[in-house]
């Protein structure tokens, strides 16, 4: 391969002629690298521009997708953006999952719904640049001006005589050209792929059972390992006896590191059998906590004198003192397990001064950095290959299971795959933190909302509030504060961190207030938003017009207030850069509430893949509903009381209501959709439930509430 380095002024593209002919256009995926280089912070030497778009002489277009794919559709959506601007024939586009390479790809992680907003513009420019260069090569070939050529689905076309050449036929010529300094991007109305229903690029492999996931990875000579961790949070390893375990056929060794004992053998089943024969002794390091302790703890924290103020507008004390009416409500949510369908697993092969890692990770670079630290070798000596992820939901943002594979491989001096059973996965830590909120609203004599107070308390939750979210900015006197408690129970980001529950609490509370002031819940929200628009209090960190637009769209589509026999519940939330409003509908059947339908209106800017986006919203709603209804992980003396799907209930097909999704069409640059549809669901459903039954649901999971005895909402009857 020979590099014909021509940098454009835009400074993020590099052209390379491939040895076998054809063109490779490299581009940085990296906002940060560019910003760094501007600030002079980049490492000496040139920027590395190495996410590739390759066009080979046989017309195959290869696009390397650097971000981990876990179902958020990125492996399909990103290439669509490039291919659209390139005017490529989609059937000739091949998408390849790129290995970890921090020099090549910045932000090679999946989390925070941030990938699309991060890359939208540069992906388009990369595609448009390649198209421009192919057109220039065509113009040269036909000895005509660039204005006289255009493209059509993988062909460069001579406008005056209709002559056509494929991209492949011109790619080698194009590679000799100069990267244009600037290119014109398509008009939105000319998009051919963006906004269309495009199927997943891995579908074929998936539905025929091809190896794709980490758990499917196999290497000749690889050993299987399972790691036994302390059964209670707060315990540490004291000693173990592996005699019986080692006697199981196929077991090669039992090794130990930190607080863990690992059984290593020749097959999953043998290892699984042997681990059950381990005799392990633990000692208590920190007090072992139980769920009833937490319930009590929450009450104390809500009264605590040392809360951290997160936002303060006006004089909240005075507002409450002079209030005509004060409304108060508390909401609580339990720990949740992430439970991606594919349990944690990773392959590691530690060698003399290097290490090979293969598996599913949402943050491959962090996994590599932590491995480097553990092994005391430079990160450059570690390769990491990403497999497809069988779900993530935030669990695979952590590298704990990667490091386990590294530890075992190092001790065994062999390639090892660490596999977690479902029980390991559910009891092995890193949960959605349990939190409790207290909301208070002060009303004046004419029912205006004059004061608003929120205190969030949580267990290893960090700041459990989002202090700048609506209704902040719409209330004169407001105080948002938090108290955190540190526990040995490990927690981590869980799809739509914090907002996955906060949205339910907030949207339920606003409903309570609306009801008490005697206003329609939709009108009540709109009135507050108008207030924030006309006369904002403090900083406004959400887009009022976008929020109003989704409210209106959801209300319109659902026929809000126009269905006498149906109880409707409303909810709207801004999170992770996008806006989603939902209306849940409950019908009483034989005196039982049945959740029939949820309408959603989403504003995520330009919809890239209609298929992926629709499914992100529907899946987010199903996820939000299922966990609000059933999800709960409780503890007894530090031990999780649920350990598999028989006692940790996930939503199933029968419990899922109809979902109708609408998108706001406003042409704003895409803002991401992996998370924002989930937060509003719990509130919409709880508010509909109140309308239907007169009962408020304050705690999750709903199914455990006295108010919901004997009811499974979604169940079709």
**Interface residue list for ligand FES (CB under 6 A):** 71, 341, 391
d(CA 325, CA 448): 10
200 part of the interface to another protein, by CB under 8 A: yes
User: Least distance in Å: CB of 627 to ligand FES?
Assistant: 14
User: Least distance in Å: CB of 96 to ligand FES?
Assistant: 22
Q: Are the CB atoms for 25 and 43 separated by under 8 Å?
A: no
Closest alpha carbon to 687 in 581, 545, 589: 581
Figure out which of the listed residues 47, 86, 179, 212 binds another protein, where binding follows CB under 8 A.
212
Q: Report the chain's C-alpha Rg in angstroms.
A: 28
244 part of the interface to another protein, by CB under 8 A: no
Using CB under 8 A, which residues numbered 73 to 112 contact another protein?
73
- In degrees rounded to 5, what are phi and psi of residue 507? -70, -25
- In degrees rounded to 5, what are phi and psi of residue 617? -70, -50
Report the residue number, 97 or 615, with the smaller CB distance to ligand FES.
615
Figure out which of the listed residues 133, 554, 584, 622 binds another protein, where binding follows CB under 8 A.
622
Report the residue number, 110 or 687, with the smaller CB distance to ligand FES.
110
Q: Are the CB atoms for 588 and 595 separated by under 8 Å?
A: no
Burial 272-304 (b: 16+ CB within 10 A, else e): bbbbebbebebeeeeebbbbeebeebbeebbee
421 part of the interface to another protein, by CB under 8 A: yes
Would you give the end-to-end CA distance of the chain in angstroms?
A: 64
Q: Are the CB atoms for 596 and 684 separated by under 8 Å?
A: no
∠ Cα 181 186 187 (to 5°):
135
Look up tokens 């990770």; give the residue: 361
Residue nearest to ligand FES (CB): 341
From the list another protein, ligand FES, none, pick the one residue 200 interacts with, judged by a Cβ distance below 5 to 8 Å according to partner type. Answer: another protein
Q: Which range binds another protein by CB under 8 A, 192-200, 466-474, 541-549, 551-559?
A: 192-200
Closest alpha carbon to 490 in 259, 240, 226: 259
343 part of the interface to another protein, by CB under 8 A: yes
Q: Which range binds another protein by CB under 8 A, 265-273, 408-416, 478-486, 683-691?
A: 265-273
589 part of the interface to another protein, by CB under 8 A: no
Structure tokens at 30: 């990296």
Q: Is 327 exposed, middle or buried (0-12, 13-18, 19+ CB in 10 A)?
A: middle
Binding pattern to another protein, positions 368-407, x when CB under 8 A? --------------------xxxxxx--------------
- Residue 457: strand pairing partners: 436, 483
- Residue 225: strand pairing partners: 264, 418
d(CA 575, CA 553): 18
Figure out which of the listed residues 223, 357, 656, 688 binds another protein, where binding follows CB under 8 A.
656
357 part of the interface to another protein, by CB under 8 A: no
DSSP state of 651: -
Figure out which of the listed residues 32, 176, 422, 597 binds another protein, where binding follows CB under 8 A.
422
How many residues sit close enough to another protein to count as binding (CB under 8 A)?
61
Report the residue number, 224 or 320, with the smaller CB distance to another protein.
224
339 part of the interface to another protein, by CB under 8 A: yes
d(CA 177, CA 179): 7
Other C-beta atoms closer than 10 Å to the C-beta of 519 total 15
Report the residue number, 466 or 627, with the smaller CB distance to ligand FES.
627
471 part of the interface to another protein, by CB under 8 A: no
Which residues are CB-neighbours of 448 under 8 A, at least 6 positions away? none
User: Least distance in Å: CB of 200 to ligand FES?
Assistant: 10
Q: Which range binds another protein by CB under 8 A, 167-175, 195-203, 226-234, 444-452?
A: 195-203
From the list ligand FES, another protein, none, pick the one residue 652 interacts with, judged by a Cβ distance below 5 to 8 Å according to partner type. Answer: another protein
Q: Which helix (H) or strand (E) holds 367?
A: helix 364-375
Report the residue number, 590 or 646, with the smaller CB distance to another protein.
646
Q: Are the CB atoms for 264 and 222 separated by under 8 Å?
A: no
Greatest alpha-carbon pair distance for the chain in Å reads 84
Figure out which of the listed residues 3, 218, 324, 380 binds another protein, where binding follows CB under 8 A.
218
∠ Cα 176 180 183 (to 5°):
135
Other C-beta atoms closer than 10 Å to the C-beta of 188 total 11
Q: Are the CB atoms for 459 and 336 separated by under 8 Å?
A: no
434 part of the interface to another protein, by CB under 8 A: no
Binding pattern to another protein, positions 271-310, x when CB under 8 A? --x-------------------------------------
User: Least distance in Å: CB of 206 to ligand FES?
Assistant: 9
Report the residue number, 421 or 700, with the smaller CB distance to ligand FES.
421
717 part of the interface to another protein, by CB under 8 A: no
User: Least distance in Å: CB of 564 to another protein?
Assistant: 26
Report the residue number, 71 or 638, with the smaller CB distance to ligand FES.
71
d(CA 336, CA 543): 31
Report the residue number, 389 or 480, with the smaller CB distance to another protein.
389
Figure out which of the listed residues 102, 361, 615, 687 binds another protein, where binding follows CB under 8 A.
615
Report the residue number, 347 or 509, with the smaller CB distance to another protein.
347
Peptide bond preceding 701 in cis form (omega within 30 of 0): yes
From the list ligand FES, another protein, none, pick the one residue 565 interacts with, judged by a Cβ distance below 5 to 8 Å according to partner type. Answer: none
d(CA 512, CA 246): 61
From the list ligand FES, another protein, none, pick the one residue 386 interacts with, judged by a Cβ distance below 5 to 8 Å according to partner type. Answer: none
Figure out which of the listed residues 160, 308, 644, 666 binds another protein, where binding follows CB under 8 A.
644
d(CA 307, CA 498): 18
Figure out which of the listed residues 146, 159, 238, 269 binds another protein, where binding follows CB under 8 A.
269
Alpha-helical regions (H) of 216-363: 243-246, 268-275, 291-303, 316-321
Q: Is 326 exposed, middle or buried (0-12, 13-18, 19+ CB in 10 A)?
A: middle
Report the residue number, 177 or 391, with the smaller CB distance to ligand FES.
391
Figure out which of the listed residues 645, 665, 666, 669 binds another protein, where binding follows CB under 8 A.
645
**Where does this chain bind another protein (CB under 8 A)?**
70-71, 73, 197, 199-200, 202-204, 206-213, 215-216, 218, 224, 249, 267-270, 273, 339-343, 388-393, 421-422, 611, 615, 618-623, 626, 644-646, 650-654, 656, 658-659, 716
């Amino acid at each position: 391969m020979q590099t014909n380095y021509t940098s454009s002024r835009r400074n993020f593209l590099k052209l390379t002629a491939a040895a076998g002919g054809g063109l490779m256009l490299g581009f940085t995926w990296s906002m940060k690298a560019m910003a760094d280089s501007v600030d002079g912070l980049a490492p000496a030497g040139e920027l590395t521009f190495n996410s590739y778009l390759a066009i080979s002489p046989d017309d195959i277009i290869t696009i390397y997708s650097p971000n981990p794919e876990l179902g958020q559709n990125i492996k399909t959506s990103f290439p669509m953006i490039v291919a659209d601007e390139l005017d490529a024939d989609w059937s000739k586009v091949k998408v390849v999952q790129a290995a970890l390479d921090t020099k090549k790809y910045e932000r090679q992680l999946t989390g925070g719904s941030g990938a699309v907003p991060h890359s939208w513009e540069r992906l388009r420019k990369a595609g448009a640049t390649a198209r421009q260069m192919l057109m220039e090569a065509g113009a040269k070939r036909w000895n005509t001006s660039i204005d006289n050529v255009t493209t059509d689905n993988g062909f460069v076309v001579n406008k005056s005589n209709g002559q056509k050449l494929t991209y492949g036929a011109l790619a080698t010529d194009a590679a000799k050209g100069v990267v244009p300094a600037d290119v014109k991007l398509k008009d939105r109305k000319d998009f051919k792929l963006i906004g269309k229903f495009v199927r997943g690029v891995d579908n074929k492999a998936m539905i025929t059972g091809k190896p794709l996931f980490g758990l499917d990875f196999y290497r000749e000579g690889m050993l299987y390992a399972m790691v036994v961790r302390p059964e209670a949070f707060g315990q540490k390893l004291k000693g173990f006896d592996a005699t019986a375990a080692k006697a199981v056929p196929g077991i090669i060794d039992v090794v130990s590191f930190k607080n863990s004992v690992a059984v290593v053998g020749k097959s999953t089943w043998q290892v699984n059998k042997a681990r059950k024969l381990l005799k392990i002794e633990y000692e208590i390091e920190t007090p072992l906590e139980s769920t009833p302790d937490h319930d009590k703890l929450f009450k104390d924290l809500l009264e605590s004198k040392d809360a951290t103020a997160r936002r303060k507008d006006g004089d909240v004390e005075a507002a409450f003192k002079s209030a005509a009416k004060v409304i108060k409500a508390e909401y609580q949510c339990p720990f949740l397990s992430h439970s991606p369908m594919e349990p944690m697993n990773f392959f590691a092969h530690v060698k003399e001064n290097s290490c090979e890692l293969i598996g599913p990770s949402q943050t491959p670079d962090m996994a590599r950095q932590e491995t480097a630290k553990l092994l005391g070798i430079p990160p450059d000596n570690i390769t990491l290959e990403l497999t497809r992820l069988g779900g993530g939901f935030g669990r695979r943002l952590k590298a704990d299971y990667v490091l386990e594979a590294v530890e075992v491989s190092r001790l065994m001096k062999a390639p090892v795959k660490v596999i977690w059973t479902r029980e390991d996965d559910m009891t092995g830590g890193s949960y959605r933190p349990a939190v409790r909120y207290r909301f208070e609203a002060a009303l004046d004599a004419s029912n205006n909302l004059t004061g608003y107070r929120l205190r969030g308390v949580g267990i290893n939750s960090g700041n459990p509030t989002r202090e700048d979210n609506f209704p902040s900015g719409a209330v004169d006197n407001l105080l948002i504060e938090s108290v955190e408690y540190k526990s040995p129970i490990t927690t981590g980001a869980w799809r739509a961190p914090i907002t996955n529950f906060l949205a339910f609490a907030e949207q339920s509370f606003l409903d309570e207030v609306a009801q008490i002031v005697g206003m329609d819940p939709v009108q009540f929200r709109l009135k507050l938003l108008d207030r924030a628009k006309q006369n904002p209090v403090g900083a406004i960190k959400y887009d009022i017009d976008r929020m109003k637009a989704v409210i209106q769209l959801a209300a319109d589509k659902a026929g809000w207030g126009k269905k006498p026999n149906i109880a409707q519940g409303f909810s709207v939330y801004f999170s992770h850069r996008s806006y989603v409003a939902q209306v849940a509908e409950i019908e009483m059947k034989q005196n039982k509430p049945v959740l029939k339908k949820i309408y959603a209106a989403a504003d995520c800017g330009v919809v890239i893949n209609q298929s992926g986006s629709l499914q992100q919203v529907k899946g987010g709603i199903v996820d939000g509903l299922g966990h609000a209804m059933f999800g709960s992980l409780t503890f007894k003396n530090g031990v999780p009381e649920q350990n598999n799907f028989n006692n940790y209930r996930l939503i199933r097909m029968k419990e899922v209501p109809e979902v109708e999704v609408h998108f706001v069409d406003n042409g704003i640059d895409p803002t991401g959709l992996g998370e924002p549809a989930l937060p509003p669901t719990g509130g919409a459903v709880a508010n509909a439930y109140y309308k239907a039954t007169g009962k408020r649901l304050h705690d999750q999971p709903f199914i455990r509430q006295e108010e919901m005895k004997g009811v499974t909402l979604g169940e079709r009857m």
